[in-house]
Amino acid sequence: MANKPAWRRAWPPAAALLLFLALWQAACAAFRIDPWTLPSPYDIALQMGEDAPLIGYHLAGTLGLAMSGVGLGLAAGVILAVALHLLPAVRSVVSPFVVASQNVPLIALGPLLMIWFGFGLTPKLILLTLVGFFPVAWSLLAGLGRAEPQLREYLAMIGASKWETLRRLEFPASLPYLFSGLKITVTYSVTTACVAEWLGASRGIGYYLVLKFKGFQIDAVFGAVICIVTLCLGLYGLAAWLERIAIYWRRAGKAGERG
């Protein structure tokens, strides 16, 4: 399965997508659907082609913001997970607050941050960090505690310190967990960046989206959505690719399991 060439794995979803677009196009023509209600894929493509330079400019802005958010979220998530792992007493105190922080709606948090920190970059980065750290921190924290007991026992027997155990065993063993958190953070970051731009910005695909909505350019709105989804998929793919590189030993076969 995993050894099939990329194009053989890619064609079934690609064919499904094409079929979906064809049906959409046909439905728009057959039922004469008003383009202000639901534009046809062809209309959307035309509009995107026309607006390409502008979309490119805004997309680059969103990408930059989202990547800064991923960087900050990843750093905050790793630091928090390691700290809570090494200090279990703090963990039980802090955990409820961390979980609660994830339940504050973005549409409340965003405007509040704007009030506190103005309209610059700061509130946006704070928003992105708040959204981005959680998946990384929580899956990494789970992973750090789940390293193989045999290897843990071995390190204890030879007198490894807490730090050595973290460095040599727990951290490498929890990389798969870190990456599943990162993949979620990456996609959240793009949508959060759009929300932040929607709240107040002069650049970014979120800003573009609001502008087109206000101008009733529904085909452009669809175009923006397509760009956002594509950006999410692209960043997700990048994270998956990094994961394969970072966890190189998975490809070398299953080690440590044989006697």
Partner 1 sequence: MSAETPYRLELIGISKSYARDGKPFQVLDNVSIRVREGEFVTLLGPSGSGKSTLFRLTGGVELPDAGEVRIGGKPATGERGLIGYMPQQASLFPWMTVAGNIAAALEIAGVPRREALASAKEWLARIGLDAVAGEHPGVLSGGMQQRVSFLRALLMPRDVMCLDEPFAALDALTRTEMQQWLLRQWEERRRSVLFVTHSIEEALTLSDRIYVLSAAPARVLREIAVPFERPRRADVWMDPQFAELKRDILGLLRRGDSDAV
Nearest to 48 by CA among 195, 220, 166, 197: 220
- Binding mask 153-172 vs partner 1 (x if CB under 8 A, - otherwise)? xxxxxxxx---x---xx--x
151 binds partner 1 (CB under 8 A): yes
Among 11, 20, 241, 249, binds partner 1 (CB under 8 A): 249
8 binds partner 1 (CB under 8 A): no
Nearest to 41 by CA among 53, 59, 23: 23
- 167-226 residues near partner 1, rule: CB under 8 A: 168-169, 172
252 binds partner 1 (CB under 8 A): yes
Least separation in angstroms between CB 147 and partner 1: 10
A 10 A CB-CB count for 248 gives 8
Among 95, 102, 150, 230, binds partner 1 (CB under 8 A): 150
A 10 A CB-CB count for 224 gives 27
Least separation in angstroms between CB 156 and partner 1: 5
How many of the chain's residues bind partner 1 (CB under 8 A)?
23
* Sign of the CA dihedral with 238 first, then 124, 199, and 104 last: positive
Alpha-carbon distance of 59 to 42, in angstroms, equals 21
Please tell me whether residue 189 adopts helix, strand or coil conformation: helix
Would you tell me which residues interact with partner 1 (CB under 8 A)?
150-151, 153-160, 164, 168-169, 172, 248-249, 252-256, 258-259
